[in-house]
Structure 1
Amino acid sequence: MPGSRRGDWHDEAVSPTYSGNTPGNGAAARAQDAAVALLEAVRGELASLRLPLELPAAPGARRTAAKAVGQLDDYILPRYRSLDAPLLAVVGGSTGAGKSTLVNALAGHPVTRAGAIRPTTRQPILLHHPADAAWFTSARVLPTLARVRGELDGAGTPATRAGATPDAAAMRSLVLVSDAAIPEGVALLDAPDVDSVSDDNRQLASQLLAAADLWLFVTTANRYADAVPWKLLVDAASRDILVAVVLDRVPRGAEEEVRADLRSMLTREGLAGSRLFVVPELDLDAMGMLPAAATAPIAGWLRDLAEDATVRSEIARRTLNGTVRSLSGKVAGLAEAARDQDDAGRQLADDVTAAFTDAGARIHRATSDGSLLRGEVLARWQDFVGTGDFFRALESGIGRVRDRLGAFFKGQPPPAVKVETAIETGLQAVIVAQASRAAEDADQRWRADPAGRALLGTDDLSGTTPDFPAQVAEEIRAWQGDVLDLIRAGGAAKRSQARWLSLGVNGLGVVLMVVVFSLTGGLTGAEIGIAGGTAVVGQKLLEAVFGEDAVRRLASQARRSLEKRCAGLLERQQRRFLDRIGPLHDGAADTLEGLAGELAKLGEGA
């Protein structure tokens, strides 16, 4: 490169906390290892971060997390692991600003294609000194981009040994060109347009700029105030990255005016220390090259950087620390996003839980206040006990119930199975109805919330699953089996009263079920007398067989068994909602918050 005086780069020195891992520098080596371990922990946490709920800030947070992981892989971790690697100077800027022309001028011969058709830079080209090849042929930096070894053809553009690279593959590959014209210690990377019409080009340009140790940002006299480049320059200021702005194609006579205006803008945006180079509007030669003198100050500045190891080290550390500080702010923001997700997820979960808790409470009332003894269940119970003779016998006094019940049941009782069937049918109707109501309630609550609405999508969860009635019937039969097992266990402990077991296990089981259901709280009029009478008779009968304390215990156990099975049925239905939320209370927000604090200290050199 043509020589020039050293540029006025005089920004404050970066803290030397993270120096190279040189022999005898054990403390620095340990600090470097600790920094790498912290950064790897941050990368793992960000890579596993899940923000499934469609909150207003969620899309931006997901993009931030993905870009942060990419920057850790492309730049931060590689630079911490190899602090003495050559500087990577990325040449970026707007469409048609003259990036490729500048790169060719700095190399002293045509290297990359420049032209009027946009976008021209489809495949990034990295120029490096032959002695620096090992730093870039590996996946040390930009590991997601495949390496393609390039040679300069007769036209002055890189050609791969394997031939032309298709555009799709080119966008994910990096052409490496070894060129002795590039000073050892600094590599140049020609990036796509930051405002390209191609989404892929813009994303790649952003990725490459995020992996840079310093920027050569190219703009023109009539485009330097455009919004897109300034957004990137402001990001550079937040990273404290060294930026050299190349103001290209400045009309003769307007240099000082345009320079002053651009310098004022840079100062306002926190980039007062940036170098500013002005390239006048000049005709290109037959090979599309600028006169060497036009870019000599830029070439000299880069050469001075390359020759001064101390300055290179300061630049690398300054950019690295600034990037880590910027990453700390992003991680803190992601911690807040994760906390918002947890809060929103808990609210959605609470909505579902409340709906199904209410359903459980309604089922409890219906199965404990006598409501189930209406209709078919009551009719089958009356058939079972023979209401007329049975209640006339009770009129003589409940105190002699053992003798009266014993005499009454010496005959063959009607089948208890009809009562069991009626209980199953009635109980199934109650559970299915209340679960459906809960599902409808939960569905409506979610659809009133944007995050819940997104989780539901086009699915309709406002009813129970098709197999739910069959599941309920199966659970009720299982509960009835539990009741019969309780009767068998209680009868085995009362062998002296085995004569009462002539009623049969099923008969006593039915009586226990009716006792569980008939507290009469929900009945009115004549039903109270009927249900109340059946409850009293059933309870006294069981007390005659098992004893008063045992009956209370049996009824309590039967009630708990029923409630447990009902809760399981409702839980399966509400799980359809909760599974869509994903895990809650996983501690991601607290972890990210703690990592953000550690990154802030690392970025400050603490």
Structure 2
Amino acid sequence: MRDALAPSRTLDADSLLRRVEALNRFLRSVDGLLPPDRLTGAHTVVERADARLALSREHTVVALAGSTGSGKSSLFNALAGFALSPVGMRRPTTGEAHACVWGSLEGANALLDWVGVLPRHRFVRESALDGNDHTALHGLVLLDLPDFDSVRRQHATEVDRLLGLVDLIVWVVDPQKYADRTIHDVYLRQLKSHADVTVVVLNQADRLAGEEQEAVVLDLRRLLAEDGLPDVPVVATSAVRAPALSPLRMVLERTVVARQAALMRLSADVDATAARLGELVGPAAAEDTVDRAAVAALVDAFAVMAGVPAVVEATERAYRHRAAGLTGWPLLRGLRRLRPDPLRRLHLDLPSSGPTDGLLDGLSEEADRPAPLPASSVPDPDASQRSAVKLAVRQVADRAAAALPEPWRPGVLDAARSRLDDVRDALDSAVAGTDLGLRTPIWQRLTGFTQWLVTLAAGIGLGWLIVGYAIRALGLPALDYPDVGATPLPTVLFLGGLLAGGLLALLVRPVIALAARRARRRADQRLRAEVTTVARKHVVAPVREVLQSYARAREAMALARSDHA
């Protein structure tokens, strides 16, 4: 057992303030993420600590608590030297807390207002007539609490409230009921972390002979050890014999002079709270635990939901459609226009000309750069696609929460789901606003220009031949056609133009197919990049915010648990 007359350690108020602030930061970090019922006690401790530290530290509030008949009111009166609190041996007579202040009430009144002692139950115990008898107790605020086993429920409620506010608790027991299970199970056993601010008094010790008193004290210490309080001071006293009050009086004097009880009580409250909340934090969790395989699966599910496969397929077909229309025989281009452009059907028509990285792409003008449309006509996701998205979101949450304690996991899942209602519109806007890279390369323009030249040559040759046949039919002298070898030039122009146009169209067809596949891959990459941005913003970012909150809470809890200065 530690020395009943000396504090076990010296605390620094600034260190305690830092621990309380750390506990407060922990509560702010977990707000909305953990069950509120598990944090109520911690909020109470922070509020009480802030309030007590703002009040007088020159006063020490000591409570006498006990059961009916233990003699705590008699002990209260004996210490005060006056009959201030009503006494009863069989019936609870103290219905409201009484307070006796040694010294001036200045500073003590605000403290008693906070504790909740009515002004009519406040007394001052020090005057010029007392000499030096009470000087050592200057600053003591002694409370006589109601009986915790009173038949009136409000008495027990008041005791519980006051026990949470006082600086030092003196438990008063008597030789007959010192082993009562109520005081041990309901109260003392719950004060393991408050041993430094707990004293047990065996009152009415004058009823016991010397050996009997020693035996009862030893048995009381055994019970306290079973309660987890082996070092709590045990003092034998009596309210009817002044010398028997000396041990308790010396404990109170030493406590008042040290001015440490309030800090020790608050520190014990923080210790108990931190120990209780310790299971809410565990090992460190990296924020990038959600940025790998789980996000890849999420992007796949979002891509299907956004219709990326359909858009990618339409992009390839649109590239073929537009390239064939530009590089094919000009006289047949009108027929191709009767076939709808695949991207226009999805309201993703992005015709343009400009720089391109396609096969054989060259420089081109910027005038036709696409203007993205606000929405697409991609089909709405079906039930299986929505289920796949929900499963992928849950996988992200599960992977992120794998290293976190169990109470955090629902919060991580809620965060992952928090913006799902906005995902569909975000994906649609992302798809509609994606530059699919469908530029008109220079080689297509040159091919189209060449097609017009050979078509013009074929037209000139055909017209030349028609004119020659018309002159001959009119009996006029025949035209003298220039020859290319053995073939007239008009025939060469006509047949050569037709043959060159068809051959050119055949030659560029595999080039168009290869470029279309590259356009497909390029569109897929760009669409997936936009989908990834949506996934990170709407699922990953909220989850990472929870992980950041966990990191802050873990750091704050480490500070709240830190050793005392």
Structure 2 length normalisation: TM-score?
0.59
**Aligned with residue 345 of structure 2, among 406, 421, 441:** 421
- Compared CA separation, residues 471 and 200, structure 1 to 2 (3 A): farther
Contact conserved, 1:384 with 1:414, CA < 8 A, in 2? Answer: no
Find the counterpart in structure 1 of residue 105 from structure 2.
133
Distance 2:255 2:37 in 1: 36
Is 1:588 the counterpart of 2:546? The answer is no
Q: In structure 2, what is the equivalent of residue 473 of structure 1?
A: 428
- When Rg is computed on C-alpha atoms for both structures, the one with the higher figure is 2
Corresponding position: 1:277 with 2:249: no
Q: Deviations over 1:382-418 (max 9, x none)?
A: 99679xxx7xxxxxxxxxx985365643656136455
Q: 1:240 aligns with which of 193, 196, 203?
A: 196
Correspondence for 1:409:
333
Which whole-Å deviations, capped at 9, do the CAs of 1:68-122 have from their partners, x for residues lacking one? Answer: 43563465x469x84xx2443211134664434543454432435869777x756
- Structure 2 distance, partners of 1:483, 1:378, is 8
| Matched position secondary structure for 2:63 | strand
How far apart, CA to CA, are the structure 2 residues paired with 1:328 and 1:135?
25
| Runs of 5+ consecutive residues of structure 2 not aligned to the other structure | 349-375, 452-507
Question: 1:347-379: CA deviations, max 9, x gaps?
Answer: 9x85x98655313135668999977688xx699
**TM-score (norm: length of structure 1):** 0.56
Distance 1:373 1:534 in 2: 20
**Counterpart pick for 2:15 among 14, 38, 63:** 38
Q: How does 1:53-92 map to 2 (within 5 A)?
A: 62=39, 65-66=42-43, 68-69=45-46, 72-73=49-50, 77=53, 82=57, 85-92=58-65
Is the 1:193–1:205 Cα contact (8 Å) retained in structure 2?
yes
Distance 2:9 2:205 in 1: 39
2:219 equivalent in structure 1: 261
> Aligned residue for 1:537?
512
Partners of 1:595 and 1:452 lie apart in 2 by: 20
Alignment of 1:428-443 (within 5 A): 428-429=379-380, 434=385, 436-440=387-391, 442-443=393-394
Aligned counterparts of 2:206 and 2:410: Cα–Cα separation in 1: 52
SS at match of 1:357: helix
Question: Secondary structure of 1:189's match?
Answer: strand
CA distance in 1, matches of 2:295, 2:384: 12
The residue number in structure 2 matching 1:313 is: 257
Whether the 8 Å contact between 1:383 and 1:414 is mirrored in structure 2 is: no
Matches within 5 A, 1:313-352: 313-314=257-258, 316-317=259-260, 319=261, 323=265, 326=268, 329-330=271-272, 333=275, 336-340=278-282, 350=290
* Distance of aligned partners of 1:61 and 1:464 in 2 relative to their CA distance in 1, 3 Å threshold: closer
Aligned pairs (5 A) from 1:443-522? 443=394, 451=407, 455=411, 465=421, 468-479=423-434, 482-483=435-436, 487=439
Alpha carbons of 1:91 and 1:331: their partners in 2 closer, same or farther (altered >3 Å)? closer
Alignment of 1:144-223 (within 5 A): 144-145=114-115, 148-150=118-120, 158=121, 176-180=122-126, 183=134, 184-185=137-138, 186-193=140-147, 205=159, 208-209=162-163, 211-223=165-177
Aligned residues: CA RMSD: 5.8
**1:331 & 1:555 partners in 2: Cα distance?**
59
Match of 2:184 in 1: 230
Identity of aligned residues (%): 16
**2:554 and 2:509 mapped to 1: Cα distance?**
58
Q: Give the letter aligned to residue 438 of structure 1.
A: V
2:20 touches 2:49 (CA, 8 Å); kept in 1? Answer: yes
Q: How many residues are matched?
A: 462
Are the structure 2 counterparts of residues 458 and 236 from structure 1 closer, same or farther at C-alpha, using a change threshold of 3 Å? closer
Q: Quick check: 1:293 aligned with 2:240?
A: yes
| Deviations 1:316-358 (CA, angstroms, capped at 9, x unpaired) | 44x4675577467547647844533975x979x85x9865531
SS in 1 for 2:85: coil
Contact 1:305 1:311 (8 Å CA) reproduced:
yes
Please give the alpha-carbon distance, in whole angstroms, between the structure 2 residues aligned to 1:334 and 1:357. 38
The whole-number CA distance in structure 2 between the counterparts of 1:146 and 1:469 is 57
- Partner Cα separation in structure 1 for residue 91 and residue 396 of structure 2: 54
Provide the C-alpha distance between the structure 2 equivalents of 1:177 and 1:405, rounded to a whole number of angstroms. 111
Is it true that 1:357 corresponds to 2:288 in the alignment? no
